[in-house]
Structure 1
């Protein structure tokens, strides 16, 4: 004979006054015995809610200020006035100040990307890598672009294994017919520089097979022919 379930269901608690009273008494007993814990937990939750609300209010205010500063400095960046873009001019904040001074905002995040590009153009590769690694986006194109730029910086530093790792991230991120073949070509070159010819051949093949309409296909086929003998294929 099966054992009858003595644990009251939610419906039974609502419909049966005796069961409901029993459950209320249990809850009262628990509260009395654990008053300090319950009150402390409630206070902690309330404090967390208040703190989060205050943080969001602060960030929203910071965001507005940072976006205004960024919209001004972007003109210098687009004009290739890199020093002015990075450090500011005419009393305006620069990318470095926005990135560091408004952490947690979208403007700070984007300033890291712009600063990374500017520093890379100036040949300041370590600083460029630092800012580009601080950038994060779910965008279809920009996140992959940031990883590819980090790869470019490592290539300039002759650190080919690090370049390979970042080009792989760029080429695998939300693949598309416009930019992925470019990143695969960069990846293959870095793999060649790292003397990993088998992997380089595989990257060139991906361009040819997965992106046959890409403008990169002609060069991919050419470079494949040059290294096929080196890997015995």
Structure 2
């Protein structure tokens, strides 16, 4: 049985329970037939859906191959819109929504939109992206922070940078995210929050390259805040 699809386990479990009571079967024949019919239809429906979704995902991955090539070459317009022969990221994200290909297209499109200065579009795409890879997910939160910061939404940006820093916290990326958080909180005039972010870098990531900058910035903000 596939543990990821609990529907597929129901018929066997149901059959086993029913087999233990012939009397129950006789007394409830009509009801049970109705229940079995619903379960079978659900299983068939689930199987059909996952088969269709897998097929769509394969088509989506093939469709976005050239778009990713353009994205990597920094040909962002072609990456987003396509070239007349191949679909662009916009089309893949929309047409294959709900598949892995569509999900990944949202990430690429979000980054491309950010580079093009289309910050709200970047937010829309990145908010539709999610990943089980926590490092990638943290990066998506940081990019969302960048887009919000560009739109002047300093508190929202700071919160997203903090989320990036605490998602699979590590010494390689978290300090830089915390530095961005502190900067955004300064811009929002949340000096206590900025100081706290700088302190996290200093206390939790003592060997990070950002520590010296954090110390200097913390002293400056403390003076600014009259502490």
TM class, shorter-length: 0.7 to 0.9
Structure-1-length-normalised TM-score: 0.85
Q: 1:68 maps to what in 2?
A: 62
Q: 1:30 maps to what in 2?
A: 24
- Cα distance per residue 1:157-190 (max 9 Å; x no partner): 1111211221121011001111111100011111
Answer yes or no: is 1:101 the counterpart of 2:87: no
Structure showing greater radius of gyration is: 1
Deviation of 1:32 after TM superposition, in Å, equals: 3.8
Q: 1:208 maps to what in 2?
A: 202
Q: 1:78 maps to what in 2?
A: 72
Q: 1:224 maps to what in 2?
A: 218
Q: 1:41 maps to what in 2?
A: 35
The root-mean-square deviation of aligned C-alpha atoms, in Å, is 1.8
Answer yes or no: is 1:56 the counterpart of 2:42: no
Name the SS of the counterpart of 2:21 in structure 1: helix
- Cα distance per residue 1:45-103 (max 9 Å; x no partner): 11111011111111111111111122221111011111110111141001011111112
Q: Any unmatched runs of 5+ in structure 1?
A: 1-23
- Cα distance per residue 1:131-163 (max 9 Å; x no partner): 101110121321001001111111111111211
Structure-2-length-normalised TM-score: 0.87
Q: Measure the CA separation in 2 of the matches of 1:158 and 1:56.
A: 42
Instruction: Work out which of the residue numbers 114, 132, 151 in structure 2 matches 1:138.
Output: 132
Instruction: Work out which of the residue numbers 121, 128, 134 in structure 2 matches 1:127.
Output: 121
Q: Measure the CA separation in 1 of the matches of 2:154 and 2:27.
A: 64
